[in-house]
Structure 1
Amino acid sequence: MEENTMQQTDEIEIDLWEICLVLVHNLALIVSVGIMTALGTFLITQLFITPKYESTTKIYILNKQENNAVTYSDIQLGTQLTKDYAELIQSRFVLEEVVQGMGLDLSYEEMKKKVSVTTPTDTRILAITVEDTDPVMAMLLANSIREAAAVHIMNVMDIQAVNVSETANMPMKKASPSVMKNTFIGGVLGIFLMIAVILVRFLMDDTIKTPEDVEKYLQLSTLAVIPLNEGEEDGKKKKKKVKRS
């Protein structure tokens, strides 16, 4: 049993070593494919993918009692209601009002895809982020949604005021796509794809090429090796042209 285990271990080590040799032998091809796929991804990202910009505005909501004194229950209740506020901001009433007010040719579903609402951990601040291909339009939409949502929240939730924590910014850099990230991912995928192709071809190739393969797979010893004449071309020689004097 121990001898069989040692033989299997040796065979596995030899196979892994052969795989490493195959990969090293094709290293130039693997690197070339990685560079080509990275370059292709870079060109596709630069030329065919439309960049998008993000603009963010923030609001602060605090529910106060009639005596205008802020209590701990007010703060705790406000924290629990942040999800409700987020739903109201992305409601059909608010987004369609913004679309009609700005004269946009967008449906409610299309507008909702542009808007995201997030809440920083342990805060009652709501961040409204709008994504658009035009940076100016992204800023205008974010501010318009904030204003319409503030009125809607006060009417529905009976809130006294919705304070502006931060107005929408003018995005100077595109949020997506990331050229460097896409180029890196494209190069890595190209390398792994080429490695997979090489390994599949190596594992599927069961032909015997060397005397070592004969001893390994057939358990036979070779008596002699007949060399091939690599100089012949299809067993024929080209005819020489005869020059007439």
Structure 2
Amino acid sequence: MEKDTMQQPDELEIDLWEIFLVLLHNLALIISVGIMVALGAFLVTQLFGVPQYESTTKIYILNKQENNAVTYSDIQLGTQLTKDYAELIQSRFVLEEVVQGMGLDLSYEEIAKKVSVTTPTDTRILAITVTDTDPVTAMQMANAIREAAAVHIMNVMDIQAVNVSETANMPMKKASPSVLKNTLIGGMAGIFLMIIVILIRFLMDDTVKTPEDVEKYLQLSTLAVIPLNEGEPDGKKKKKKVKRG
């Protein structure tokens, strides 16, 4: 038992070394497949990827008491209500009003997928982001949602005003898809999949190729090795041809 226990670490080390050698032997193939997949991802993203643009507008909402003085309770209450404001901004009432006002051919579900509301950490500012294939439409939709949401929030929450922290910007660069990101992901995926294929083929291959494999897997010692010289018949044929010439 002790002898078998002592041999297990050696066998594990030999297996890992063999795997390393197999991967090293197929390194050129692994890199080639990675480059090919990365090139494919680059071409697909460049040719068939639909550009998406993001435009963001920000609002600031703060309840005030009747004396118009901002207290700590007002700030704390405003922080707790940011989630309520976000729900009101993305409500059906606001989004459908924007669709009708801009004359968009979109359903509520379709425009809801384009809108996201976030709150920067430790702030009471709400950022309304709209994603669209047209940068101008994204900017116009963001501003329209902000205006409709401000009126809806004042009516529902009984707030006097919603302050505009930042108007929607005109996006000059596409937000997605990222050609560089997709190319890198494609290359890494190709390399990873090729390594898996090579390892599976290596682990599934149970053929005996060397005398060392006989001793390792069959636990038998080889008495003799017969070399195979496959090029010998061809060599004799060549010599005969030379004698005839």
How far does residue 3 in structure 1 lie from its aligned partner after superposition? 1.8
Equivalent residue, structure 2, for 1:228: 228
> Does residue 1:2 correspond to 2:2, yes or no?
yes
Distance in structure 1 (CA, Å) of the matches to 2:156 and 2:171: 32
- Written as runs of structure 1 = structure 2, the 5 A alignment for 1:46-57 is 46-57=46-57
Equivalent residue, structure 2, for 1:197: 197
Distance in structure 1 (CA, Å) of the matches to 2:29 and 2:209: 22
How far does residue 40 in structure 1 lie from its aligned partner after superposition? 0.6
- Written as runs of structure 1 = structure 2, the 5 A alignment for 1:103-114 is 103-114=103-114
- Deviating above 4 A after TM superposition, structure 1's stretches of 4 or more consecutive aligned residues are none
What letter corresponds to residue 68 of structure 2 in structure 1?
A: N
What letter corresponds to residue 38 of structure 2 in structure 1?
A: A
In structure 1, the residue corresponding to 2:58 is in which secondary structure?
A: strand
- Written as runs of structure 1 = structure 2, the 5 A alignment for 1:155-174 is 155-174=155-174
In structure 2, the residue corresponding to 1:121 is in which secondary structure?
A: coil
| 5+ residue gaps, structure 1 | 238-245
Q: Structure 1 stretch 173-182 or stretch 95-104: which is displaced more?
A: 173-182
In structure 1, the residue corresponding to 2:165 is in which secondary structure?
A: strand
How far does residue 224 in structure 1 lie from its aligned partner after superposition? 2.3
How far does residue 89 in structure 1 lie from its aligned partner after superposition? 0.4
> Number of aligned pairs?
236
Distance in structure 2 (CA, Å) of the matches to 1:208 and 1:81: 71
In structure 2, the residue corresponding to 1:127 is in which secondary structure?
A: strand
Distance in structure 1 (CA, Å) of the matches to 2:15 and 2:112: 55
Distance in structure 2 (CA, Å) of the matches to 1:232 and 1:25: 29
Distance in structure 1 (CA, Å) of the matches to 2:12 and 2:61: 65
More helix by share: 2
Equivalent residue, structure 1, for 2:11: 11
Distance in structure 1 (CA, Å) of the matches to 2:216 and 2:171: 66
In structure 1, the residue corresponding to 2:57 is in which secondary structure?
A: strand
Distance in structure 2 (CA, Å) of the matches to 1:11 and 1:53: 56
Equivalent residue, structure 1, for 2:131: 131
How far does residue 119 in structure 1 lie from its aligned partner after superposition? 0.7
Equivalent residue, structure 2, for 1:212: 212
Q: Structure 1 stretch 83-92 or stretch 68-77: which is displaced more?
A: 68-77
TM-score, length-normalised on structure 2? 0.92
Deviations 1:5-54 (A, max 9, x none): 11111111111111111111100000101111111111111111101010
Equivalent residue, structure 1, for 2:118: 118
Equivalent residue, structure 2, for 1:95: 95
What letter corresponds to residue 86 of structure 1 in structure 2?
A: A
Deviations 1:73-101 (A, max 9, x none): 21111111111110000000100000000
Distance in structure 1 (CA, Å) of the matches to 2:192 and 2:107: 42
Aligned-pair identity (%): 88
Equivalent residue, structure 2, for 1:67: 67
Q: Structure 1 stretch 129-138 or stretch 214-223: which is displaced more?
A: 214-223
Equivalent residue, structure 1, for 2:241: none
In structure 1, the residue corresponding to 2:88 is in which secondary structure?
A: helix
Distance in structure 1 (CA, Å) of the matches to 2:216 and 2:83: 68
How far does residue 67 in structure 1 lie from its aligned partner after superposition? 2.0
Distance in structure 1 (CA, Å) of the matches to 2:162 and 2:226: 91
